[in-house]
Amino acid sequence: MWFKNLSIFRLTETFTLTPGELEQKLEPMSFRPCGPHEEFCFGWTSPIGKTTQQLVHGCNGFMMLCGKKEERVLPTSVVNEMVQEKIFETEEQQGRKLSKKERTSIKDETIFELLPKAFTFSRKIYAYIDPKGGWLIIDAASAKNAEDLLSLLRKCLGSLPAIPLNTVEKPVLTMTQWLVKNQAPDGITIEDECELRSPEEAGGIIRCKRHDLALPEIKNHLDSGKEVIKLAVNWADRISFIIDEHLAVKRLRFLELCQDQAADIEADNEAEKFDADFSIMSAELANFLPRLLELFGGERQA
């Protein structure tokens, strides 16, 4: 189980629950399929898969969780077409224009009628808690998905003091200087992708992919005032990723050194393979996250 994105949250208080205690907190909100008239359902499922019902997978002090969301798919075009037909028929029968409230009521009734017939699709959002390091790490490509899982976790625990990562130096300014000087910190290699944005409101955006970022044309954009809001980098030849202006990590890849380590571990079944991969990944990120803070001047204290 290798994360592809990192939404990073700092736990501002010590996380004291054991895996067993956390399991008990999550059980009341275990995943169940959508009912006929529910637009979505969101709950906890086993991180490992169908081989076990365990909602929390503990390994070397880290705790893996998995939220599962099932949604009913109602194409907007289909809903709108049916609503317009019903509005037209009602207006013809009553010989008058319907009010906004009446139109909204027809739309709500139409959705309620269609929901039981709608297809469903589901997706999983993985996360793990690092009590020793004080981290909650969510594998989510969007801030909304990360917040959805965090909200679900807070409902189960009553509260969870967790805040987005915040550093002394602004990532945009720091990454811009890396490109301006064509020099990255020790252990960091700048790769071939970036996104530049003019600082003014609604400023222009330049996206570069598979491009030598040391070329003069990139520096010309920087000299004109554009700033780096996304940058592809490599850390110690162990992981590569894109870091953005909010310190979210996207398109994370664990490189050959990590993959070789995983390949050397013999696993007899899916659970053992999951455990081995999780152990390597969590240990790797536990080493990387403090370095990530250092790159941007350390963590800003509240």
Structure tokens at 187: 């252990």
List the beta bridge partners of residue 6.
249
Give the residue from 146, 165, 139, 195 showing the smallest Cα distance to 296. 165
Write out the E strands in the chain: 7-11, 40-44, 57-59, 62-73, 119-130, 135-139, 162-164, 188-197, 205-209, 227-235, 239-244, 249-254
Instruction: Determine the pLDDT at residue 297.
Output: 95
> For the chain, what's the residue count?
302
Return the axis-axis angle of helices 76-94 and 100-114, rounded to nearest 10°: 130
Furthest CA-CA distance within the chain: 77
DSSP classification of residue 264: T
Domains of the chain: 7-74+120-164 (3.30.310), 76-116 (no CATH), 171-295 (no CATH)
Helices first, then strands: H and E counts in the chain: 8, 12
Q: Are 212 and 254 in contact (CB under 8 A)?
A: no
- Name the band, by pLDDT with cuts 50, 70 and 90, for residue 301: confident
Cα–Cα dist 108/96, whole Å: 21
- Token pair 């801030």 is at which residue? 143
Please, what is the end-to-end C-alpha distance for the chain in angstroms? 33
Phi, psi angle pair for 124, to nearest 5°? -115, 145
Instruction: Determine the pLDDT at residue 78.
Output: 85
Instruction: Determine the pLDDT at residue 52.
Output: 81
Query: Cα dihedral sign for 282, 163, 27, 61?
Result: positive
Task: Write down the pTM of the prediction.
Answer: 0.89
Instruction: Determine the pLDDT at residue 302.
Output: 66
Give the residue from 282, 142, 249, 242 showing the smallest Cα distance to 150. 142
- Name the band, by pLDDT with cuts 50, 70 and 90, for residue 13: very high
- Name the band, by pLDDT with cuts 50, 70 and 90, for residue 261: confident
Cα–Cα dist 43/66, whole Å: 9
Instruction: Determine the pLDDT at residue 37.
Output: 87
Instruction: Determine the pLDDT at residue 200.
Output: 81
The dihedral region occupied by 145, where left means phi > 0, alpha psi between -120 and 50, and beta the remainder, is alpha
Whether pLDDT at 20 is above 90: yes
Mean of pLDDT over the chain: 93
Q: Are 128 and 282 in contact (CB under 8 A)?
A: yes
Cα–Cα dist 237/254, whole Å: 9
Q: Are 55 and 26 in contact (CB under 8 A)?
A: yes
Structure tokens at 217: 């044309």
Phi, psi angle pair for 133, to nearest 5°? -80, -20
Cα–Cα dist 232/131, whole Å: 29
Whether pLDDT at 272 is above 70: yes
The dihedral region occupied by 136, where left means phi > 0, alpha psi between -120 and 50, and beta the remainder, is beta
Contacts of 245 (CB under 8 A, 6+ apart): 171, 172, 229, 230
Structure tokens at 48: 């490992």
Cα–Cα dist 28/14, whole Å: 24
